[in-house]
C-alpha cells in the first residue's frame, strides 16, 4: 500500500469530514489511481476543482499518484488568473445553460426570473453541454460532468447568491426575460391583444406586458414583482414608467 498527502483549500473543505478540514491528511491506496479518483474517493468532486499542485508544481487531475507526494487542491477563485494549461475545469460558456436537479425547483424559478436558461434534468447522465446544479454529490462525481456546482445552503435565496458568485453571473442578469414556469424567452405583447385577460386594476395602472409563447402566461411588473424586489434587492432592478400613474399598486 502507498500513501500520498492531500490538502484541500477554500470551499473544497465543505466536502470533507470535520477532522480532515484545513489540514494535510494522508491518503492510502493500491496501484496508481489518478488524482481525480483520489479526490473523489475523499469526497471532493472534480468540477469544483480549479488547480492541483503536486510538490510545488501544477499538474493535471488525470495524472497518476505514485506515493509520498504532497497534493494541494484549490477551488475556483474569481480573483485568481491562472495560465489556461493549469486550470482543471474548462472555461464556462459565454451563454451558459444550466441543468438543475429536480430538488432545486425554487432555485430554478429564481434563476429564470433573472433571465438564466435553466432546465430540469431528472438524470444527470443524459447527454448535453450543461452546467450541472445539484445537491446530490454523486451527480457531480460523474466523469462526463465538466461543469457543476453543489449549492451548500438549503435556502433557495442563498443558493441563488452562491450560484451567481461562483459562475460570475451578476453582469448577465436580464430580469423578466424568461418564463419562470417553462423557461421560454418572453415576448412583448400589446395591452390591446390581452385586454380581455386582465383584471380591472391591472388595466387601470399598467401598459407594459410580456407573454410566454409556450404557456401563454402574461407578466408585468406589478405587486408580485415588487414583493420579489424586496427579497432580491438590486438583483432585480426596477424599470421606469412601469405604471401609468403614481397611484399605489395593489
Domains of the chain, start order = 2-86 (3.10.20.30), 97-172 (3.40.50), 187-235 (no CATH)
Tens-digit pLDDT profile for residues 83-116: 666 666 667 777 789 999 999 999 999 999 999 9
pLDDT at 157: 94
State how far the Cα of 201 lies from the Cα of 117, in Å rounded to an integer: 32
Query: By the 8 A CB rule, do 156 and 110 touch?
Result: yes
Helix (H, G, I), strand (E, B) or coil at 48: helix
Comparing CA positions, the residue from 132, 214, 229, 133 lying closest to residue 176 is: 229
Find cell 432592478 and name the residue: 237
What is the structure's pLDDT at 245? 40
Specify the pLDDT at position 83: 63
For residue 246, what pLDDT is reported? 35
Question: Low-confidence residues of the chain, pLDDT below 50?
Answer: 240-241, 244-250
For residue 249, the model assigns a pLDDT of: 33
pTM of the predicted protein model: 0.84
Three-class secondary structure of residue 178 per DSSP: strand
pLDDT of residue 92: 73
Query: How high is the pLDDT of residue 72?
Result: 96
The answer to whether residues 36 and 46 touch, using CB atoms and an 8 Å cutoff, is yes
Query: From CA 169, how far away is CA 192, in angstroms rounded?
Result: 36
Amino acid at each position: 500500500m502507498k500513501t500520498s498527502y492531500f490538502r484541500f483549500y477554500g470551499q473544497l473543505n465543505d466536502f470533507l469530514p470535520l477532522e480532515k478540514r484545513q489540514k494535510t491528511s494522508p491518503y492510502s491506496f493500491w496501484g496508481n489511481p489518478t488524482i481525480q479518483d483520489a479526490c473523489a474517493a475523499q469526497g471532493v468532486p472534480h468540477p469544483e476543482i480549479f488547480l492541483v499542485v503536486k510538490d510545488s508544481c501544477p499538474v493535471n487531475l488525470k495524472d497518476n499518484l505514485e506515493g509520498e507526494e504532497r497534493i494541494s487542491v484549490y477551488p475556483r477563485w474569481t480573483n485568481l488568473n491562472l495560465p489556461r494549461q493549469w486550470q482543471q475545469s474548462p472555461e464556462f460558456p459565454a451563454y451558459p445553460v444550466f441543468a438543475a436537479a429536480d430538488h432545486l425547483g425554487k432555485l430554478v424559478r429564481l434563476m429564470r426570473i433573472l433571465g438564466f436558461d435553466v432546465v430540469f434534468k431528472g438524470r444527470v447522465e443524459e447527454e448535453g453541454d450543461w452546467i450541472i446544479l445539484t445537491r446530490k454529490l454523486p451527480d457531480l462525481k460523474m466523469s462526463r460532468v465538466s461543469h457543476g456546482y453543489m449549492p451548500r445552503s438549503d435556502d433557495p435565496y442563498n443558493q441563488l447568491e452562491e450560484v451567481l458568485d461562483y459562475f460570475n453571473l451578476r453582469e448577465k442578469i436580464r430580469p423578466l426575460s424568461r418564463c419562470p414556469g417553462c423557461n421560454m424567452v418572453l415576448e412583448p405583447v400589446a395591452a390591446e391583444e390581452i385586454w380581455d385577460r386582465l383584471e380591472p386594476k391591472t388595466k387601470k395602472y399598467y401598459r407594459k406586458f410580456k407573454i410566454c409563447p409556450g404557456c401563454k402566461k402574461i407578466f408585468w411588473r406589478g405587486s408580485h414583482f415588487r414583493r420579489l424586489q424586496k427579497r432580491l434587492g438590486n438583483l432585480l432592478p426596477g424599470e421606469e414608467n412601469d405604471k401609468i400613474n403614481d397611484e399605489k399598486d395593489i
